[in-house]
Chain A
Amino acid sequence: MSGLNAWLLQRVSAVYLAGFLVYFLVTLLTCAPESYIDWHDWMSSIPMALATTLFFIALLFHAWVGMRDVLLDYVKPFALRLSMLILLAVGLVVMGLWVVRILLTGAP
């Protein structure tokens, strides 16, 4: 993903990330789940599970565009740049699968 698509994705994901984080932080500050049961019930409620899944999807795409920009700016040797981009992509996919496993199989 590059050019205008990446630019737009970066901004759209940014808006969602910011909104989710404000909601999450305000909830933690005003009525923090004190026990495992409260925390688990909150995170496994359908709206929150969906919102959290979407949060991580947005986060990983946001991280891809941002880290890709950083690598393209500072890592000039082609082989090193390509290796780091591949490593980044693999890392993000692994993190995504990990989150999916947590939210789909761990939470209910």
Chain B
Amino acid sequence: MKNKKTDTRPVNLNLLKIRQPITAIASIGHRISGVLLFLSIPFFIWMLDRSLQGPPGFVDVTALFDNGLIKLLALLFAWSAAHHFFAGIRFLLLDIEIGLDLATARTSAMVVNVLGVIGVLIAMVMIL
């Protein structure tokens, strides 16, 4: 065991200063988007419930997207869904040993990160 008092090596765990590799960004994005998608489940079940209760309920749900806050949440959801979808496919491919070498893994991570952003852009065009 090292004596803690004599260990003077610098420690830098400032997450804002550490530059993460692109594969790590795809990975943590998958995790963050997963949690956001989990939190969105009750809202979607509510929309399913309301929209099937009758014509007024259906209109209520379609009218939800007139609200600015809902539009913002929809964009957050669009990123989460797109990133989680594509990063998930990337992980499934890695599981069956496709794209394991570093160069390919970096490229696919970049593609996944970009596709998440493209998902938001498409959602923007559709709802704004």
- For the complex, what is the distance from the CA of A15 to the CA of B36, rounded to whole Å? 20
- By size class, the interface of chain A is 20 to 34
Asked if B53 and A70 make an inter-chain contact with CB atoms under 8 angstroms apart, the answer reads: no
Expressed in whole angstroms, the minimum distance between the Cβ of B7 and any Cβ of chain A is 23
Interface of B is mostly: helix
Once A36-B58, A70-B35 are accepted as A-B contacts, the answer to whether A59 and B41 lie under 8 Å apart by CB is: yes
Residues of A within 8 A of B88 (CB): 14, 18
Residues of B within 8 A of A18 (CB): 85, 88-89
How many B residues have CB within 8 A of the partner chain?
Answer: 24
Asked if A35 and B35 make an inter-chain contact with CB atoms under 8 angstroms apart, the answer reads: no
- For the complex, what is the distance from the CA of A23 to the CA of B88, rounded to whole Å? 17
Query: Which residues of chain B from 28 to 63 have a CB within 8 Å of any chain A CB?
Result: 31, 34-35, 37-38, 41-42, 45, 48-49, 51-55, 57-59
A interface vs B, CB < 8 Å? 11, 14-15, 18, 21, 35-36, 39-40, 43-44, 56, 59-60, 63, 66-67, 70, 95, 98-99, 102, 106-107
B interface vs A, CB < 8 Å? 31, 34-35, 37-38, 41-42, 45, 48-49, 51-55, 57-59, 81, 85, 88-89, 92, 95
